Copies of this chain bind each other. A is one copy, B any other.
Amino acid sequence: MNLKQLATHLGLSQTTVSRALNGYPEVNRDTRERVQRAASEHGYSPNRRARSLATGRSMAIGHVIPLRTQHEMMNPVFADFIAGAGETYSRNGYDLILSVVGPRDEEAVYSELFSKGAVDGVIVHGPRAGDNRIEMLNRIGLPFVVHGRASDTPGPYSWLDINNRRAFDRATGYLIDLGHRRIALLNGLEDMDFAQRRRQGFLDAHQRRGIEPDTALMCSGEMTEMYGYEALRPLLASSERPTALLCSSMISAVGARRAIHEAGLELARDISLITHDDDLSYLRNGSNVPMFTATKSSVREAGRTCAEMILRSLSSPDLPLQTTMLEAEFVLGQSTGPAPASL
Contact = CB atoms under 8 A, between A and B. Distances in A.
Interface of A: 43-50, 52-53, 58, 60, 65, 67, 70-76, 78-80, 82-83, 86-87, 89-90, 95-101, 105, 109, 111-112, 115-118, 222-226, 230, 251, 254, 257-258, 261, 280-284, 286-287, 291, 300
Contacts of A111: 43
Given A52-B49, A53-B53, A78-B79, A284 B90 contact: no
Contacts of A86: 65, 98-100
A281 B224 contact: yes
A279 to B, nearest CB: 11
Contacts of A257: 258
A216 to B, nearest CB: 22
Contact of A97 (B47, B96, B281): B96
A65 B78 CA distance: 14
Given A65-B86, A226-B284, A251-B282, 20 more contacts: A43-B115, A46-B116, A47-B115, A49-B58, A67-B83, A74-B82, A74-B83, A76-B280, A76-B282, A86-B98, A86-B99, A87-B100, A89-B100, A90-B99, A96-B99, A97-B98, A98-B98, A224-B282, A225-B283, A225-B284
Contact of A101 (B43, B90, B226, B254): B90
A294 B45 CA distance: 48
Chain B CB within 10 Å, residue with most, of A52, A75, A97, A99: A52
Contacts of A284: 224-226
A70 to B, nearest CB: 8
Given A87-B100, A97-B95, A98-B82, A115 B45 contact: yes
A21 to B, nearest CB: 13
Contacts of A80: 74
Given A50-B53, A97-B97, A251-B283, A79 B74 contact: yes
A291 B261 CA distance: 14
A283 to B, nearest CB: 5
A284 to B, nearest CB: 5
27 contacts: A45-B115, A45-B116, A46-B116, A48-B116, A48-B117, A50-B53, A60-B97, A65-B86, A67-B83, A72-B281, A74-B82, A74-B281, A76-B79, A76-B282, A82-B98, A82-B100, A86-B98, A86-B99, A86-B100, A89-B100, A90-B101, A97-B98, A222-B282, A224-B281, A224-B282, A225-B282, A225-B283
A137 to B, nearest CB: 15
A50 B117 CA distance: 9
A190 to B, nearest CB: 18
A112 to B, nearest CB: 6
